[in-house]
Structure 1
Amino acid sequence: MRNKEEFKAELFRRRARYERQRKKRRNILFAGGIPAAICVILCCVIFQPERKSNRNIEAKAESSFGEATAVAVIEITITPGSEAEQKHCTDPETIRRILSCLEGKPLYPSTQEEACGIADYIITVINQQGDPTTYMLYKNGYLLTKDGSCLQISEKAAIELKQLISELKSD
């Protein structure tokens, strides 16, 4: 029969061997698993498709249809009072300038009621695929879309937009 000292020594040796094996397994995991996980995360980030901006109308149109075919026609219907005078534009530079004026900051639903009334201009942007997007511009710089979202454009952008519309030729 072993004595008490030999029994304690055997327990300590087994415990030390178990700790060495555990440390060895952990080091193998860290050496191979963590770099592999980092590579997977980087691949997911690198090959992730571009996110579309909801606020930038021009970037949204270009990212969904490509630079060359972003906007084919822009049709502007001006409704001062009861008359309806239509103006069309196909010039890419003028289209870009008009789209840049249509950028605005989103408003909360409580302020949408302020924009109600008769729209100064109804602007319909038609892309290459024929999908129309309609904006209603009001005197106070509010811009409503057919989907119900409300934007506030700057006073400078509203003046520039009205000037661009007045420079367009009528049908």
Structure 2
Amino acid sequence: MKTLIFLAKGFETMEFSVFVDVMGWARNDYGYDVSVVTCGFQKQVISTFNIPVMVDKTINEINVDEYDALAIPGGFEEFGFYEEAYNERFLNLIREFNSKGKIIATICVGALPVGKSGILKNRKATTYHLRDAYRQKQLKEFDVNVVNEPIVVDKNIITSYCPETASGVAFRLLEMLTSEEQMKIVKAAMGF
């Protein structure tokens, strides 16, 4: 089972690293067949707070058929997150993952490009809920049924509130890729 983690410019490192760590523990300590591949528009992506990360592949190298899931960490507008998150090439990648019934897991405002892609129309989802819930209002503008809960799963799509929910999303993704029992083993081993 292979997960593509898409890093838009200005992504949050905490929301990115949780997917690497949870899948890494599952693979390394328990031999589960779960791996991650990082992706961005360029080989080096600058995160929120200016941490540079080298990705495995650029968006042009991605064949959706090679992956079982897409993970999208959120990011900060002032670090340019939406410049790439709302790019039509990325929105098309999201649409292709969804059209093939693959899992899409988002943290915080990672739900907004999924909403903008149109695949959440008339579906349940959530996103960042603090500061007057302005990000939830933005998500609602994409005809999404916004649910004010920490983690919302609608069929193949996982969305969540904020950085606090990051580990919960990663464990939910692991469960969907493996099983509830296997996820609980890894979760306990990581001290959750």
Category of TM-score, reference length = shorter chain: under 0.3
